[in-house]
């Protein structure tokens, strides 16, 4: 058999609550399902369960809105508590209209509602926020999985993002540990000796998208996937999801939207 | 074993020339490699080999540049023949600077250089253009693969795209046949009965990204991948890649860049 990439869904994980040992629950469920974690596996975790385990779930009716949030909420016709939550983790409001609220988060991700999201969170007024520091979350979960399994893995925390120019959402990486998010071809050569000047593949985002194929967004209850057999990934200890984000003022697409 | 997604790289395909029977060569190489094509497989093909087989490779030094191309080329300091090629397939120039040329193609894709690309094309002055109608290309290749194998498959033609806000490129779908590019959750419910209002996953782009994990951009010479076991995909005869593209004036991100 030629080499292949495999993506395993981790089904049957219990609902996650604040304080839960997510890494321990993943390792336990992997065993329950007859799966395994091997050296070089990449474990992909949807942001929502990480946020839940870290207690980043908030009752929007109990949020005290600032003057700024109240003003913005009135303008965009959203609930003030919700807007307050979005603003608290925002570095910059990119767009605020009745149709859409787009912010750049403190972590640097430009996304709808700053990642504040209602889906798959129990309770009518409960919203999940992004982890405070997704790379830190990824490092902690990875370290514990490695300790429990004695295996070396890469770890990604992902979120579902809308994109400019293209319809529909795709899964993208917002936190990572143990692997280089990029596969950099710049300076390397193609089949005919031509030197590649721009190719720098966001392999962490491709892994996130691949994992979503088995994860789903509705009632699938599969927030974790294991990806095996990816030869393109460079495993390394020092890695940051900020490498996936365009620096302020540096966007090639500036002025196109 | 629980269900899993598998991604097989099709290595060892010969270099593709104008007029080559790409579908036939893929089927032959699948057999040579001890792989197989099964019902429900999704075959992902990088745009470059499709363009080559369709003769969409041009010697930039022999291109007669229009006045418009000459003017633009002078302004952005690129070769006039190259700019002419980009403009010929462009519906709109989104950005033209010394740093970058971004256009919306006739097919509706907003990308650097309108997809006109040098990498992995033989000859110093030779550039590959996108297929004239990538959905038509996908339908033809799919039909021939199905005839040769007596199997029902989905087919994607993909290209490597830079993105706003995020660094690095990812593989995205520019042509398709036999499958719905979206997995639409709108109106469905989450784990707690909350009705999802926006979730509409661009599963064709996630498949493209997943395939790129085994394809590569340099000397890998693996322009084809077979994806097996994706339960999320709806196979259907009438499908268009234009569903992946935001209609003019409808972009949620308008004004953010």
Check whether residue A48 and residue A102 sit in a common domain. no
Other Cβ atoms less than 10 A from the Cβ of B14: the count is 10
Q: What ipTM was reported for this prediction?
A: 0.96
Chain B, 50 to 109: residues with Cβ < 8 Å from chain A are 94-95, 99-100, 102, 109
Check whether residue A20 and residue A121 sit in a common domain. no
For residue B1, what pLDDT is reported? 42
Check whether residue B157 and residue B229 sit in a common domain. yes
Check whether residue B63 and residue B166 sit in a common domain. no
Check whether residue A81 and residue A39 sit in a common domain. no
For residue B81, what pLDDT is reported? 96
Between the alpha carbon of residue B39 and those of residues A140, A214, B150, B230, the distances in Å are 42, 19, 9, 12
CB contact under 8 A, A11 and B5: no
Chain A partners of B181 at a C-beta cutoff of 8 Å?
Answer: 168
CB B83 within 8 A of CB B103: no
Is B121 a domain residue?
yes
- What is the C-alpha separation between A232 and A234, in angstroms, rounded? 7
Check whether residue A35 and residue A146 sit in a common domain. yes
Chain A partners of B201 at a C-beta cutoff of 8 Å?
Answer: 160, 168-170, 212, 217
CA angle, B39 then B42 then B44, to 5° = 145
Kind plus residue range of the DSSP H or E element containing A172: strand A170-177
Q: Which of A110, A130, A150 corresponds to the end of one domain?
A: A130
For residues A228-251, average pLDDT: 92
Is A254 a domain residue?
no
Check whether residue B68 and residue B47 sit in a common domain. no
Tell me which of A201, A204, A230, A234 to substitute to probe the interface with B (most B C-beta atoms closer than 10 Å): A201
Query: Which pLDDT band holds residue B218 (cuts at 50, 70, 90)?
Result: confident
B6 touches chain A (CB under 8 A): yes
Looking at the complex, report in whole angstroms how far the Cα of residue A210 sits from the nearest Cα belonging to chain B: 5
In chain A, the percentage of residues whose pLDDT exceeds 70 is 99
- What is the C-alpha separation between A21 and A28, in angstroms, rounded? 11
B244 touches chain A (CB under 8 A): yes
For residues B20-43, average pLDDT: 97
What digits encode the pLDDT tens for the residues B33-64? 999 999 999 999 999 999 999 999 999 999 99
Give the single-character DSSP code of B245.
B
State chain A's mean pLDDT as an integer.
94
Q: Could you tell me how far CA A14 lies from the centroid of its own chain?
A: 20
| CATH number of the domain that residue A122 is part of | 3.90.1660.10
What digits encode the pLDDT tens for the residues A143-174? 999 999 999 999 999 999 999 999 999 999 99
| CATH number of the domain that residue B232 is part of | 3.30.1330.100
Tell me which of A76, A190, A224, A231 to substitute to probe the interface with B (most B C-beta atoms closer than 10 Å): A190
For residue B206, what pLDDT is reported? 98
Kind plus residue range of the DSSP H or E element containing A142: helix A134-149
What digits encode the pLDDT tens for the residues A7-27? 999 999 999 999 999 999 999
More confident residue, A136 or B1: A136
Is A257 a domain residue?
no
Is B255 a domain residue?
no
What digits encode the pLDDT tens for the residues A84-129? 999 999 999 999 999 999 999 999 999 999 999 988 888 889 999 9
For residues B230-240, average pLDDT: 93
- What is the C-alpha separation between B111 and B91, in angstroms, rounded? 12
What digits encode the pLDDT tens for the residues A229-238? 999 899 999 9
Domain span including residue A71: 57-130
Check whether residue A68 and residue A184 sit in a common domain. no
Check whether residue B28 and residue B69 sit in a common domain. no
Is A31 a domain residue?
yes
Domain count of the fold of chain A: 2
Is B252 a domain residue?
no
Q: Which of B88, B104, B130 corresponds to the end of one domain?
A: B130
CB contact under 8 A, B200 and A168: yes
Q: Which of B130, B157, B174 corresponds to the end of one domain?
A: B130
- Report the interhelical angle of A203-215 vs B203-215 (nearest 10°): 130
For residues B194-221, average pLDDT: 91
Point out the residue among A181, A230, A253 whose CB comes nearest to the CB of B257: A253
For residue A249, what pLDDT is reported? 83
CB contact under 8 A, B164 and A7: no
For residue A1, what pLDDT is reported? 42
Chain A CA closest to residue B109: A165
Check whether residue B78 and residue B162 sit in a common domain. no
Is B193 a domain residue?
yes
For residue B2, what pLDDT is reported? 47
Check whether residue A67 and residue A119 sit in a common domain. yes
For residues A58-70, average pLDDT: 96
Chain A partners of B33 at a C-beta cutoff of 8 Å?
Answer: 2
CB B137 within 8 A of CB A143: no
For residues B118-133, average pLDDT: 92
Check whether residue A27 and residue A83 sit in a common domain. no
Query: Which pLDDT band holds residue A3 (cuts at 50, 70, 90)?
Result: confident
Is A234 a domain residue?
yes
Chain B CA closest to residue A220: B191
H-type helices in chain B, by residue range?
Answer: 22-32, 47-53, 67-76, 80-88, 134-149, 203-215
């Amino acid at each position: 058999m030629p080499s292949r990439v495999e993506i395993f869904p981790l089904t049957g994980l219990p609902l996650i609550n604040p304080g839960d040992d997510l890494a321990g629950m993943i390792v336990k469920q992997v065993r329950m399902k007859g799966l395994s974690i091997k050296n070089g596996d990449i474990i992909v975790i949807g942001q929502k369960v990480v946020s839940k385990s870290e207690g980043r779930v908030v009752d929007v009716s109990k949020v005290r809105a600032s003057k700024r949030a109240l003003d913005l909420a009135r303008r965009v016709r959203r609930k003030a508590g919700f807007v307050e939550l979005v603003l608290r983790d925002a570095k910059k409001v990119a767009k605020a209209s009745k149709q859409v609220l787009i912010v750049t988060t403190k972590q640097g991700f430009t996304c709808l509602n700053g990642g504040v999201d209602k889906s798959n969170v129990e309770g009518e007024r409960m919203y999940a926020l992004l982890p405070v520091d997704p790379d830190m979350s990824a490092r902690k979960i990875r370290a514990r999985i490695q300790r429990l399994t004695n295996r070396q893995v890469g770890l990604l925390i992902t979120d579902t993002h809308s994109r400019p120019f293209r319809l529909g959402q795709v899964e993208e990486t917002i936190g990572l540990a143990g692997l280089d998010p990029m596969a950099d071809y710049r300076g390397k050569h193609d089949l005919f000796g031509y030197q590649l000047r721009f190719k720098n593949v966001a392999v962490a985002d491709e892994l996130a998208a691949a994992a979503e194929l088995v994860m789903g967004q509705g009632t699938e209850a599969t927030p974790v996937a294991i990806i095996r057999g990816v030869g393109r990934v460079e495993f390394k200890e020092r890695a940051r999801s900020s490498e996936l984000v365009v620096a302020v003022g540096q966007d090639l697409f500036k002025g196109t939207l």
